[in-house]
Amino acid sequence: MHPELAADLAHLPALLEETRRQAVAFLAGLADRPVVPRHPDPPAPAQPLPEEGEGLRAALAAFGERWQPRLSAGAGPRYFGFVTGGATPAALAGDWLTSTADQNSNSSLDPAGQHLEAETVGWLRDLFGLSPVHDGTFVSGATMSNTVGLAIAREWLGERLGVDVAEDGAAALGRVRVLSGSAHSSVSKALSVLGLGRRALTAVPTLPGREAVDVAALERALAEAEGPCVVVANAGTVNTVDFDDLSAIAALRDRHDFWLHVDAAFGAFAALVPEHAGLVAGLDLADSVCVDLHKWLNVPYDSAVQFTRRRDLQAKVFRNAAAYLGPLGEHPDLVHLTPENSHRLRALAAWFTLRAYGRAGHREIVERCVTGARALGEAVDATDGLRLLAPVRLNVVCFTLAEDPTPERLAALAAEVSDEAFLTPTRYGGQAALRAAFSNWRTTDADVRRTATALSGAVRKLAPN
Contacts of 214 (CB under 8 A, 6+ apart): 181, 204, 205, 206, 207
CB 282 within 8 A of CB 336: no
- Residues from 103 through 122 that contact ligand PLP (CB under 6 A): none
Say if residue 419 is preceded by a cis peptide, omega within 30 of 0. Answer: no
Q: Which stretch binds ligand PLP (CB under 6 A): 99-107, 217-225, 261-269, 334-342?
A: 261-269
From candidates 15, 142, 315, 414, binder to ligand PLP by CB under 6 A: 142
From candidates 134, 177, 184, 310, binder to ligand PLP by CB under 6 A: 184
Binding flag, residue 151, ligand PLP (CB under 6 A): no
Q: Could you give the CA distance from residue 81 to residue 77 in angstroms, rounded to a whole number?
A: 11
Q: Which is nearer to ligand PLP, 141 or 377 (CB)?
A: 141
Phi/psi zone of residue 415: left (φ > 0), alpha (ψ -120 to 50 degrees), beta?
A: alpha
Q: Could you give the CA distance from residue 15 to residue 57 in angstroms, rounded to a whole number?
A: 7
Q: Which is nearer to ligand PLP, 304 or 454 (CB)?
A: 304
- Residues from 297 through 316 that contact ligand PLP (CB under 6 A): 304
From candidates 98, 107, 143, 206, binder to ligand PLP by CB under 6 A: 143
- The DSSP bridge partners found for residue 431 are 428
Q: Which is nearer to ligand PLP, 292 or 340 (CB)?
A: 292
Closest by CA position to 75, among listed 89, 64, 58, 59: 89
Binding flag, residue 292, ligand PLP (CB under 6 A): yes
Binding flag, residue 83, ligand PLP (CB under 6 A): yes
**DSSP assignment of 312-363:** HHHHHHH----TTT----SS--GGGTSS-SS---THHHHHHHHHHHHHHHHH
Q: Which is nearer to ligand PLP, 142 or 196 (CB)?
A: 142
Binding flag, residue 337, ligand PLP (CB under 6 A): no
Query: To the nearest whole angstrom, how small is the minimum distance from the Cβ of residue 146 to ligand PLP?
Result: 6
Strands 431-437 and 396-401 turn out to be antiparallel
Contacts of 103 (CB under 8 A, 6+ apart): 110, 112, 113, 344, 345
Query: To the nearest whole angstrom, how small is the minimum distance from the Cβ of residue 267 to ligand PLP?
Result: 7
Q: Which is nearer to ligand PLP, 173 or 433 (CB)?
A: 433
Query: To the nearest whole angstrom, how small is the minimum distance from the Cβ of residue 290 to ligand PLP?
Result: 7
Q: Could you give the CA distance from residue 345 to residue 205 in angstroms, rounded to a whole number?
A: 41
Q: Which stretch binds ligand PLP (CB under 6 A): 136-144, 214-222, 364-372, 381-389?
A: 136-144
CA distances from 304 to 137, 144, 256, 407 (A): 8, 8, 30, 32
Query: To the nearest whole angstrom, how small is the minimum distance from the Cβ of residue 186 to ligand PLP?
Result: 4
Q: What is the largest CA-CA distance in the chain?
A: 74
Binding flag, residue 141, ligand PLP (CB under 6 A): yes
- What character string, x for contact with ligand PLP (CB under 6 A) and - otherwise, covers 186-215? x-----------------------------
Q: How far apart are the first and last CA of the chain?
A: 69
Q: How many residues bind ligand PLP (CB under 6 A)?
A: 14
Binding flag, residue 348, ligand PLP (CB under 6 A): no
Q: Which stretch binds ligand PLP (CB under 6 A): 140-148, 169-177, 308-316, 456-464?
A: 140-148
Q: Which residues bind ligand PLP (CB under 6 A)?
A: 83, 141-143, 146, 184, 186, 236, 238, 263, 265-266, 292, 304
